[in-house]
């Protein structure tokens, strides 16, 4: 499904936060949104997910207006919001339960591939930060919505775990027919993961530039060390300045 964001604007009080944001997420695309802290990235996700109403503009899913409606997009917040009283497996199947058809077998397979096979009956407080993120991502992946919004999911992880998570995220996502909108502060992360990067300005946030990441998939760790990657990293840094 395609997601169209058309001329979205949002103010809080008399402060204009987002101004005239327009872009399209095509089916199966991975698009990152990068911008200064406080520029309005999470606000944009809240508008897309229907948690907030825009002052102007529309959100369209397959050309049908969903502005201000919840439930069409699966949303993974910065802090993985697992239910403490549910086991790992029960948390992973939560999104699919909402449609009445939880696929426990598939959830088990995905958890096993995510090195959580021994933790199916564990509770969230027994997991590390990276483990919680993996459960939250699997839950979003198993939810019926075809579009996932991930809000800085790896920002609290150390760089080693983060790289592992990025690799695992790409491998898992590539087997699914889902589109991802991904907020990050990390330029290398955005380049490594994405097909396109939307760069936001601040005060108010507008789209400053959209950069196509020209790297083939599947992406390998070698990409980080290539001249081409460094060249694009420089381009993103210069645009953000």
Ligand X SMILES: Nc1ncnc2c1ncn2[C@@H]1O[C@H](COP(=O)(O)OP(=O)(O)OP(=O)(O)O)[C@@H](O)[C@H]1O
- Residues near ligand X, by CB under 6 A: 12, 17, 35, 37-43
Within 8 A by CB and 6+ apart from 202, the residues are: 35, 36, 38, 39, 40
Instruction: State in angstroms the smallest separation of the CB of 202 from ligand X.
Output: 8
Instruction: State in angstroms the smallest separation of the CB of 42 from ligand X.
Output: 3
HSE of 35 in the Cβ direction (CA atoms, 13 Å)? 27
In angstroms, the CA 58 to CA 68 distance is 9
Q: Residue 148 in contact with residue 73, Cβ under 8 Å?
A: yes
Closer Cβ to ligand X, 52 or 106, answer by number: 52
Instruction: State in angstroms the smallest separation of the CB of 77 from ligand X.
Output: 11
Closer Cβ to ligand X, 37 or 222, answer by number: 37
Closer Cβ to ligand X, 116 or 150, answer by number: 150
Instruction: State in angstroms the smallest separation of the CB of 200 from ligand X.
Output: 8
Say how far residue 225 (Cα) sits from the centre of its chain.
24
Q: For residue 187, what are its two tokens?
A: 């330029």
Closer Cβ to ligand X, 88 or 148, answer by number: 148
Helix or strand run (H / E) with residue 70: none
């Amino acid at each position: 499904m395609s997601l169209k964001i058309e001329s979205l604007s949002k103010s809080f009080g008399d402060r204009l936060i987002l101004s005239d944001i327009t872009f399209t997420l095509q089916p199966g695309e991975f698009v990152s949104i990068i911008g200064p802290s406080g520029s309005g990235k999470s606000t944009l996700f809240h508008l897309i997910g229907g948690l907030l109403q825009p002052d102007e503009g529309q959100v369209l899913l397959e050309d049908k207006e969903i502005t201000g409606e919840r439930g069409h997009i699966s949303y993974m917040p910065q802090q993985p919001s697992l239910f403490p009283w549910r086991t790992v497996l029960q948390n992973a199947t939560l999104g699919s339960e909402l449609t009445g058809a939880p696929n426990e077998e598939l959830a088990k397979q995905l958890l096993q591939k995510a090195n959580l096979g021994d933790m199916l009956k564990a509770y969230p407080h027994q997991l590390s930060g990276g483990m919680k993120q993996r459960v939250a991502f699997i839950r979003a992946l198993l939810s019926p919505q075809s579009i996932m919004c991930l809000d800085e999911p790896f920002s609290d992880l150390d760089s080693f775990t983060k790289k592992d998570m990025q690799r695992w995220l790409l491998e898992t996502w590539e087997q699914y027919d889902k589109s991802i909108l991904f907020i990050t502060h990390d330029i290398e992360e955005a380049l490594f993961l994405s097909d396109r990067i939307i760069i936001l300005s601040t005060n108010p946030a507008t789209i400053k530039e959209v950069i196509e990441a020209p790297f083939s998939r599947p992406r390998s760790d070698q990409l980080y060390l290539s001249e081409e990657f460094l060249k694009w990293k420089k381009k993103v840094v210069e645009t953000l300045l």
